[in-house]
Amino acid sequence: MQNEIALDKIRLRTFPDPILRKRSGEVEVTQQVKEAVKRMAGIMYANNGIGLAAPQIGVNLRMFLVDTGDGLIEFINPTIVPLKSRMTKMEEGCLSVPGVGVEVRRIDKIKVSACDSSGRPFVREFSGLKARAIQHENDHLDGKLIIDYLNPLSRIVVEGKFRRGGKKQKKTCEVACYDGEGRTRRS
Ligand SMILES: [Zn+2]
């Protein structure tokens, strides 16, 4: 397995870019992968996102980042198992679907197995906003976007606006916004 990453083509991708709809492949950690992760973090922080997934920067590999205000966590080749807990609802934003907020129901607690960009494996449990952000980013690896959680009619309307290019590129945040001072706020 070898990943070829066009580092010069890395930039934030927005719907309807077909890259966002592809299922991403397993990652073999290379120097190039580490460089892509570094750039992904730069783009995430520059846009005040609390997460970012590789397909969003044009790289179809199974990796994403999350930082809800207490440090960056890298997830490479993640596997997520839901833990017995309640479902919670929150309006989420997405840097790849600017200007759109969608209320998404997600499970509150999860267990994640993954490795970091040094290839070190870990297993950790997450809850609350972090668990939500991880599930949102993991959706990106399977080509799933927040608009897929809309009811069918709203989805047709929103997608149509993007396809016609009529949707203003309003500023938005990934899942929720991070204000750089340890606080997160909704997009
Ligand atoms: Zn997103």
Helix (H) / strand (E) containing 141: helix 128-141
For the chain, what is the domain count?
1
> How far does residue 140's CA lie from ligand 1's centre (Å)?
7
Using the Cα atoms of residue 124, residue 10, residue 41 and residue 144 in order, give the sign of their dihedral. negative
The answer on pLDDT for 185 being more than 60 is no
Q: Is there a domain that residue 186 lies in? A: no
The answer on pLDDT for 133 being more than 50 is yes
Q: Would you state the pLDDT for residue 183?
A: 55
Q: Is there a domain that residue 135 lies in? A: yes
> How far does residue 95's CA lie from ligand 1's centre (Å)?
6
Range(s) of the domain holding residue 15: 7-176
Q: Is there a domain that residue 181 lies in? A: no
Residue 2: pLDDT band (50, 70, 90) is low
> How far does residue 56's CA lie from ligand 1's centre (Å)?
7
Angle at 113 between CA 67 and CA 9, to 5 degrees: 55
Do residues 180 and 48 touch, judged by C-beta distance below 8 A? Answer: yes
Q: Is there a domain that residue 80 lies in? A: yes
> How far does residue 4's CA lie from ligand 1's centre (Å)?
23
Residue 53: pLDDT band (50, 70, 90) is very high
From residue 117, how far is each of 28, 42, 129, 136 by CA, in Å? Answer: 10, 15, 23, 20
CATH code of 76's domain: 3.90.45.10
The answer on pLDDT for 105 being more than 90 is yes
Residue 125 CB partners (closer than 8 Å, separation 6+)? 83, 109, 110, 111, 112
Q: What's the mean pLDDT in 128-150?
A: 97
Q: Is there a domain that residue 1 lies in? A: no
Using the Cα atoms of residue 30, residue 8, residue 5 and residue 177 in order, give the sign of their dihedral. positive
Do residues 103 and 93 touch, judged by C-beta distance below 8 A? Answer: no
Tell me the C-alpha distance between 124 and 112, whole Å.
5
> How far does residue 103's CA lie from ligand 1's centre (Å)?
13
Q: Is there a domain that residue 147 lies in? A: yes
Angle at 84 between CA 78 and CA 88, to 5 degrees: 85
Do residues 173 and 69 touch, judged by C-beta distance below 8 A? Answer: no
Catalytic residues: 137
The answer on pLDDT for 52 being more than 60 is yes
Residue 186: pLDDT band (50, 70, 90) is very low
Residue 168: pLDDT band (50, 70, 90) is low
Q: Is there a domain that residue 152 lies in? A: yes
Q: What is the reported pTM? A: 0.93
Q: Is there a domain that residue 187 lies in? A: no
